[in-house]
Structure 1
Amino acid sequence: MMRTRFAGAGQRSVAGLLTAVSGFALLSACGLPDHRVDDAKHGATASAGPSFVPKAPVPSGKALGPDAHVAHPGNVNGTDASVVAKAWAELAYSYDTKYDTSPHDAVLRASRWFTERKAADERQYQPASGPGVEWNTWAKHHAWTTVTVSSELEDDAPRDSKTVAYRSLVVRGTAHGRDGWTGTGPRLNAYVKLVRSVAGAPWRVDDVMVVVAATPPSADTSPASAGSSSDSSAQ
């Protein structure tokens, strides 16, 4: 399945993005961004092709243990499209590298909010390469991620119908190492299509397009590094 990111697309409206990509089926792509390809960081474009060499599929993560740190959305009003979209994003970008092999493990945990079609696509999807430098940094610190999810209003976004709704989300995350380290977590815009069979039925995420934000390297704010910073500033 096609997996594409658009650098600089955050300034475009949801309606414009959906129109631009509809002919390429990008909204039905399998697998959400897994931090293996950092197009935004390196200035690559969608047409430039993948910047990694495909390898053996990445194995699934381990079952979560009692010390796992992942999101628990709790009771969610399934008839509110905005609430469902936010609950999905919070869970889909809540990683624990002690147990997760790649970000796709969190995507699968969030499959409760997918339509049957989307859930089946994600269960069949196999990452073709390792999770990337950012993930490896988190894993080195046995880190987990927490995210805040906010809605981004679009003046010309399509109006909700009784059975179809679109939401634009901003996801900003922090990584927390079990060794006291903290750093930058997932940073992205997610354009989400939700559907339901009839008015009043629960909304489900049917398609997603993600634009990964360009972020600086994760800052090491562990106690040791904090001491080094103090020494440097005193000179």
Structure 2
Amino acid sequence: MRTRGTRAGFGRRSVTGVLAVVTGLALLSGCGLPDHRKNDVEQGGQASNEPSFTPKAPVSHGKPLGPDAQVPTPGVVDDNDATAVAKAWAEVVYGYDTKYDTSPHDAVLRATRFFTERKAAAERSYQSASGPGDGWNTWAKHQAWTKVTVSSELEDDAPRDAEQLAYRSLIVDGTAIGRDGWTGTGPRLNAYVKLVRSSVGKPWRVDDASVVEAAAPPSPQQSSSSSSSSSDSSAQ
């Protein structure tokens, strides 16, 4: 796991890139989501009932949270505020505790209170075809939990809120904290979140999200190697 680097290029440029992608493509499932998956694609406003792959080895759910679990527990969230709902969703979806969670999807399931019924049902039936990845394995080695900060980016060209539809651009920046004293980089990404509500005055709910992972900074070894290559080139 590499330590956190600078946030250059991580923010407005990345969010603008997300907006451009979403303009031409259907929204992808979140993080976890999504963060983390590309099989939940909207088709005509409805999620596809057909998986884009055949699950190989479904990942089991995590253990029930114990008293020492380090996961976010948002209190009262203003459901009439689309931004508040989107940020609470991101905080929970990217708040992992690898002592109890088997994969990022366990956190996704903790966030179903912020989903539409359609999205919540899709997440409950979701099965991954692969493991959670090297980053997760590193966190799990240290029994780490993740702590994220979520900020909202206001884009000049973002769609205006409609009575029943809103979009929010979020930046998620996280740290992983091990129970053995280790610390490392946590989730770092941009999320473009789609929220809907049945009518004015009804609660906003997350219906989909498109996620772009932030580029990880180069490791010290990679940096040294690059410097050596540059020096060799100069010498020639």
Q: Place the TM-score, normalised by the shorter chain, in its bin.
A: 0.7 to 0.9
Classify 1:35/1:138 alpha carbon distance in 2 versus 1 (closer, same or farther; 3 Å). farther
Residue in 2 that maps onto 1:198: 199
State the Cα deviation string for residues 154-202 of structure 1 (Å, max 9, x = none). 1110000111000000000000000000000000001000000000111
Residue in 2 that maps onto 1:106: 107
Give the aligned CA root-mean-square deviation in angstroms.
2.6
> How many residues were matched structurally?
194
Cα offset, 1:17, TM superposition? 3.0
Cα offset, 1:19, TM superposition? 1.8
Residue in 1 that maps onto 2:48: none
State the Cα deviation string for residues 29-63 of structure 1 (Å, max 9, x = none). 796146699xxxxxxxxxxxxxxxx7411111111
- The amino acid across from 2:93 in the alignment is A
The alignment partner of 1:186 has SS state of: strand
Out of 16, 19, 24, the residue aligned to residue 20 of structure 1 is 24
Classify 1:92/1:35 alpha carbon distance in 2 versus 1 (closer, same or farther; 3 Å). same
Cα offset, 1:214, TM superposition? 1.3
- The amino acid across from 1:10 in the alignment is S
Check if 1:141 corresponds to 2:145.
no
Cα offset, 1:67, TM superposition? 0.5
Residue in 2 that maps onto 1:233: none
The alignment partner of 1:205 has SS state of: strand
- The amino acid across from 1:123 in the alignment is R
Q: Partners in 1 of 2:170 and 2:24 — Cα distance?
A: 18
Within a 5 Å distance, the mapping from 1:59-138 to structure 2 comes to: 59-138=60-139
State the Cα deviation string for residues 74-114 of structure 1 (Å, max 9, x = none). 11100000000000000000000000000000001001100
TM-score by length of 1: 0.76
Classify 1:159/1:34 alpha carbon distance in 2 versus 1 (closer, same or farther; 3 Å). closer
Q: Would you identify which runs of 4 or more consecutive aligned residues in structure 1 move more than 2 Å?
A: 11-18, 26-31, 33-37, 216-219
The alignment partner of 2:103 has SS state of: coil
- The amino acid across from 2:186 in the alignment is G
Check if 1:158 corresponds to 2:159.
yes
Residue in 2 that maps onto 1:212: 213
Q: Partners in 2 of 1:197 and 1:94 — Cα distance?
A: 28
